[in-house]
């Protein structure tokens, strides 16, 4: 059994706004534009779906594939499970993998195993996961908890 993530009260929350996401996705796309041409994007679901859409639009990429893995059960770390394989991407050659965050690297390690030739771009990186990203926009401390706008409670 995997131990639970540190108590949320010990983590420093860092909210990220929609405006920051749009700005940082544009900055990531700019970094990635000279690395192509790209066959397509593999979005890491769920957190990478929004950044992948923004990067795809910025780079004019229409071929989008997804990979889905779950490593969290609510706020507790659980056994990593691959839920959806990105079959159209082959070994990843010529493909971008886009995610919102590389944290401990658990998810990205599995993505890199199944797509060893892909180029990985993430909006944000923490020190433990940073070596798994080829490009990122901002780095956050390992003990921080990033509050993404799509993870916030919807207000109706």
Residues identified as active-site: 99-100, 103
Q: What whole-number distance in Å separates Cα of residue 126 and Cα of residue 114?
A: 22
CB atoms within 10 A of CB 9: 5
Classify residue 78 by its DSSP letter.
E
Query: Residue 13 contacts by C-beta under 8 Å, 6 or more apart in sequence?
Result: 144, 145, 147
Question: What per-residue string of b and e applies to 42-59 under the rule 16 or more CB within 10 Å gives b?
Answer: bbbbebbbbbbebbbebb
24 token code pair: 């940082």
């Amino acid at each position: 059994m995997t131990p639970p993530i540190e108590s949320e009260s010990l983590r420093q929350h860092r909210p990220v706004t929609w405006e920051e996401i749009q700005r940082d996705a544009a900055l990531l796309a700019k970094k990635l534009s000279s690395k192509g041409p790209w066959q397509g994007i593999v979005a890491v679901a769920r957190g990478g779906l929004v950044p992948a859409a923004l990067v795809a639009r910025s780079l004019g990429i229409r071929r989008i594939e997804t990979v889905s893995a779950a490593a969290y059960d609510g706020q507790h770390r659980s056994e990593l499970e691959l839920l959806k394989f990105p079959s159209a991407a082959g070994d990843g050659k010529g493909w971008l993998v886009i995610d919102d965050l590389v944290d401990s690297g658990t998810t990205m390690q599995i993505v890199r195993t199944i797509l060893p030739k892909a180029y990985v771009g993430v909006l944000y990186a923490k020190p433990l996961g940073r070596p798994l990203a080829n490009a990122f926009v901002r780095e956050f401390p390992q003990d921080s908890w990033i509050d993404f706008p799509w993870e916030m409670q919807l207000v109706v």
